[in-house]
Structure 1
Amino acid sequence: MPEGDTVWLTAHRLDQALTGRQLTVCDFRIPALATSDLTGRTVADVLARGKHILIRIDDDLTFHSHLKMDGSWYLSKAGGPAPRRHPDHMIRALLGNAEWLATGYRVHDLKIVRRTDEHQLVGHLGPDLLGPDWDVARAVANLEADPDAAIGEALLDQRKLAGIGNLYKCELLFIERVHPWTRTGDVADLARLAISAQRLLRLNRDHPEQSTTGQLGRGRDHWVYERGGQPCLRCRTPIQRADQGRPPKARSTYWCPTCQPVVST
């Protein structure tokens, strides 16, 4: 699943390719937008909001997409075919100009709204870890409002703070030595946790690799994520894995039982 840093980098690259240029290609392959045409309009800017991507058009319109679990945007030179990263039937949107073609594969929640109505799409989100609205105090207050929630689930609630996905949830809690099932109200320092989360995403936002250990070697780039049964890189205890949350939103959670002990209450 794309996380906040991946969404930020995607929006950044789209911004570099599309902003300030007039659209010469516009092809939406979903029924709701099948007759919509943005050709002739100029892209004003592209930005990420949590895990949402907003492509703003110069006449006060915004084209919205969400990557969810499997969406992606790819860039290719104009005049050529769309990049064959996935079968053509998975293309949901094409936007292009004289230099670049942006192809959206399996992108979700495609909508065109007035810019003044963007709040209907992203207004529910908490402070964005990679956005100009990042506010540690507000993120902490949002987390504190639900003290009985397990911290592993609370961090994935985009209404509390926007941008953390399952990978960073697991890695963040390991780094800060917090057990995933700890009550949010029992976490000793929520501000430290939020600051560490923002630091992790900032360190990874400018490149596609996602390393939390400082290493890029296979099996060495993550402390616990997807390392169930393997020895902890810090203490050699086998990493544990279990589903956290209620179906269908249960997520695989990884932790070290030695480095992240259960909190006694």
Structure 2
Amino acid sequence: MPEGDAVYRTALRLRGALDGRVLTRSDFRVPRHATADLSGRRVLTTVSRGKHLLTRVEGGLTVHTHLRMDGSWQIMPAGRRTAPGDQVRLVLANEQWQAVGVKLGMVDLVRTSDEPRLVGHLGPDLLGADWDVREAVRRLRQAPERTIGEALLDQRNLAGIGTIYRAETLFLRGVNPWRRVGEIEDLEGLVGLAQRLLDANKTNAGTVTTGDRRPASQTWVYGRAGRPCRRCGTRISRGEMGAQPQERLILWCGGCQP
């Protein structure tokens, strides 16, 4: 699933293609909004909120989308046909550009005033103007018996982190993912590092946590299961965390994260 930095970059691309321009076409290919038509309305902006995207248009309306596992927004010249087989769920077009939402996991059209109903439950956004490390830590500490690995992925605690940044943050802090939240003294330092990692990658393609942008050298543990740790040589472990069917991939180094 795309994490907060990738969603942030998607919002940047949508703003570049749609902001300030009048829609000449909108095509909602979801039953709930199949008859909706935003033609003639000017797009105000698109913002990311954790892993959610909010495209605001004139008239107090917001198009809410979520990429989930396989979704993406493709920007292309207006009028160009999409590739055969693409599972297009939404098209927003103006005279110059069209934004094509493919395999979107969520598509909603709501009053802008109702946005809190969709994203109000989220914790502080790691890449948002509302980022508040103390509030994120406060939310984490509300469940001290929970594993830190599960707590970091709970978007109600902090919004935007996923399996990649969870694994990389915990490795860099030397914290085993199965440790309990209540056992970790410097939660503020851990959460602050996660925010800095996402912020460092928010305008760059790919995820780099090592400082080395070469394709095989960008991460410490993510994508390296069974390979030797870059620091201590211990083989990187792979497992799953969370209750079914919400379990998610976790990777860690048993030597560096005892």
TM-score, reference length from structure 2:
0.98
User: Aligned-pair distance for 1:87?
Assistant: 2.1
Q: Name the aligned partner's letter for residue 22 of structure 1.
A: V
Alignment gaps of 5+ in structure 1: none
Q: Does 1:116 align with 2:113?
A: yes
Q: Secondary structure at the match of 1:118?
A: helix
Aligned to 1:130: 127
Shift of 1:218: 2.7
Q: 1:87 aligns with which of 85, 93, 98?
A: 85
CA apart distance, 1:202: 0.5
- How far apart, in 2, do the equivalents of 1:253 and 1:219 lie? 19
Number of the residue aligned with 1:34: 34
Give the distance between the partners of 1:71 and 1:79, measured in 2 at CA: 21
Q: Which residue of 1 aligns with 2:153?
A: 156
Between 150-159 and 101-110, the greater mean CA deviation after superposition: 101-110
Find out whether 1:170 has 2:167 as its counterpart. Answer: yes
- Aligned partners of 1:64 and 1:225: how far apart in 2? 30
| Corresponding position of 2:193 | 196
Question: 1:198, 1:28 → 2: CA distance?
Answer: 34
Q: Aligned letter for 1:20?
A: G
Provide the alpha-carbon RMSD of the alignment.
1.0
User: Larger deviation: 125-134 or 234-243?
Assistant: 234-243
Distance in 2, matches of 1:25 and 1:210, equals 34
Q: Give 1:77 deviation, angstroms.
A: 1.2
The answer to whether residue 250 in structure 2 is matched with residue 253 in structure 1 is yes
Task: Report the residue type matching 1:162 in the other structure.
Answer: A
Mapped partners of 2:148, 2:76: distance in 1: 40
Moved over 4 A (4+): none
Structure 2 residue identity aligned to 1:228: A
Question: Sequence identity of aligned pairs in percent?
Answer: 50
Cα distance in 2, alignment partners of residues 163 and 209 from structure 1: 15
Q: Which runs of 5+ in 2 are unaligned?
A: none
- SS in structure 2 of the partner of residue 12 of structure 1: helix
Residues 156-201 of structure 1, C-alpha deviation per residue, up to 9 Å, x if partnerless? 0000000000010001100111000000111120000111011000
How far apart are 1:66 and its partner, in Å? Answer: 0.5
Describe the superposition over 1:70-108 as per-residue Cα deviations: whole angstroms up to 9, x where unpaired. 1110101113223x3x723x1100001111110101112
- Give the AA of the match of 1:216: R
Report the TM-score, using the length of structure 1 for normalisation.
0.95
* Cα deviation code 1:104-158 (max 9, x no counterpart): 0111221111111100000000000000100011000000001011000000000
Identify the residue that residue 213 of structure 2 maps to in structure 1: 216
CA distance in 1, matches of 2:189, 2:68: 28
Question: 2:55 matched to 1:55?
Answer: yes
* C-alpha deviation, 1:236, in angstroms: 1.0
> Is the 2:69–2:105 Cα contact (8 Å) retained in structure 1?
no
The CA distance in 2 between the partners of 1:51 and 1:201, in whole Å, is 12
- In the TM superposition, residue 217 of structure 1 has moved relative to its aligned partner by 2.0
Match of 1:181 in 2: 178
CA distance in 1, matches of 2:55, 2:151: 29
Count of residue pairs brought into register by the alignment: 258
The SS at the match of 1:155 is helix
CA offset digits 1:20-47 (Å, max 9, x no partner): 0000121111111110000100001100
1:147 aligns with 2:144: yes
